[in-house]
Amino acid sequence: MENISIIILFLFVLFTLLGTGVWVGLALMGVAWVGMELFTSRPVGDVMLTTIWSASSSWTLTALPMFVWMGEILYRTRLSEDMFRGLSPWMARLPGGLVHTNIVGCTVFAAVSGSSAATLTTVGKMSIPELRKRNYPEKMVIGTLAGAATLGLMIPPSLTLIVYGVTINESITKLFFAGILPGLALAVMFMGYVAIYARIAKDWHPDAEPPMTFGEKLRNSRFLLPVICLILLVIGSMYLGFATATEAAAFGVIGSLLLAAGQGSLNWSTFSQSLMGATRTSAMIALILAGAAFLSLSMGFTGLPRGLADLIAAWELSRFELLMVLLAFYIVLGCFLDGISSVVLTMAVVEPMVREAGIDLIWFGIFIVVVVEMAQITPPIGFNLFVLQGMTEHEMSFIARAAIPMFLIMVLMVFVLIAFPELATWLPDNMRGRPG
């Protein structure tokens, strides 16, 4: 009963602060401050400063701003146009046609971005006008883009996996490789849905693409070479053991600068804009992580994480039942918080439960990412929905309805992960990379 009272107090303070427009990171610090004042006699200021410094000075966290910067640089290049030109000849003959460029394009850009929003904006700014011009159904154009852009959270380099790894002190490199096969499997499931829809839907009447010879397709594929080389540089250097995640991030930044320079899109304006964009995003995430670290310490003084873990252990749930409870919990939480905030806010409570149940923490990181991906397309604050609303000027209700099939496919992906855990654990168990 005492634990329930503490939870209600923390939630009341948190949502009061968030409701008044306080930044998420500062709101977490405010909740932690209240907890420290009520449940310990230690000087709050000293504890807060020490905790925030420790959370902000992690070497592992260095990878995050560099991967963000890499995505920001690429966002300002002609990458989206080149990807569409390179992919469209191969996608045109598939059931579902050029809608597949949304999914494959997001999958490719996710491998050099790490951000769902950057993936959505980069691919969408080129694919939406082109697909509209060819009379593809609007709800499929919008829905597939909303869903496939979430792959930026799973396919390495994933910002969410970096934050998760830092929070639970797990290898970032292993988490990256755990996300590759599930990310590709989810992309294939999205493409399967598009193919089935194209066969049975009555509103599917896109304009036919002009035929191209095999040689012409190969010539167009040259536009994909720069981004493929960048992917091989970043992911290959980690898999072969040449680099940790942090070192691979540095390679990625250098590679993206060279790519932008080669395209002629690198000038002082784009360089400074990419640097400032990366600084803002990284500072926001760092503030959230610092607030979450302070909140975790504060909750530790209350005994809340251990108490809740013991309570759930007393329910004697099976692993599957525990995962279903967490699935429902994160879906609800995702309606009100962004993915990174959801992860760092809950790990202090959830991690002991997961360890107690004997669930592999690398596998659980992928489980969390799939559920966080759902949060990107669930109203009222699904971030991808807002980005798409700005790009397309559709009503939020239309975009949310278009994204529902993608949401359901992600739910199905959770059960695929539970049934086949090796999908997430095989690559990290067999990699040769250095820890990091």
What pLDDT was estimated at residue 207?
77
- Cβ distance 349 to 330 under 8 Å? no
Note down the domain range covering 156.
2-430
Q: How far is CA 230 from CA 224, 256, 282, 293, 418, in A?
A: 10, 7, 22, 34, 32
What Cα–Cα distance (Å) separates residue 345 from each residue in 294, 334, 352, 354, 435?
A: 10, 12, 14, 15, 26
Roughly what angle, to the nearest 10 degrees, separates helices 116-133 and 383-392? 40
Domain total of the chain: 1
Are the C-beta atoms of residues 76 and 213 closer than 8 Å to each other?
no
- Whose CA is closest to 403, among 380, 390, 385, 381? 385
Determine the residue type at 356: E
In a domain, 320, yes or no: yes
Closest by CA position to 260, among listed 23, 80, 79:
79
Task: Find, among 250, 258, 253, 267, the residue nearest to 226 by Cα.
Answer: 258
In whole angstroms, what is the distance from residue 371 CA to residue 402 CA?
Answer: 18
User: Whole-angstrom Cα distance, residue 43 to residue 391?
Assistant: 48
Q: What angle do CA 177, 179, 185 make, to 5 degrees?
A: 120
Residue 436 counted as domain residue:
no
CA–CA distance, 173 with 57 (Å, rounded to integer): 19
Residue 388 domain-assigned? yes
**Chain-centre distance for alpha carbon 307:** 30
Both tokens of 331, joined, read 């879906």
Bond prior to 206 in cis (omega within 30° of 0): no
Rounded Cα gap, residues 431 and 243, in angstroms: 12
Q: Give a yes or no: residue 382 inside a domain.
A: yes
The dihedral over CA atoms of 279, 280, 286, 291, expressed in degrees to the nearest 10, equals 160
Q: pLDDT, tens digit, for every residue of 335-393?
A: 666 677 778 777 877 888 888 788 899 999 999 989 888 877 876 666 677 778 777 77
Cβ proximity of 319 and 358 under 8 Å: yes
In a domain, 435, yes or no: no
The SS3 call for residue 22 is: coil
Cα–Cα distance between 244 and 436 in angstroms, integer?
5
Q: Which residues of the chain have pLDDT under 70?
A: 1-4, 58, 60, 80, 114, 303-313, 335-338, 379-383, 431-436
What is the pLDDT at residue 310? 66
Q: What is the Cα–Cα distance from 333 to 96, expressed in whole angstroms? A: 34
- Residue 329, phi-psi category: left (phi > 0), alpha (psi -120 to 50), beta (remainder): alpha
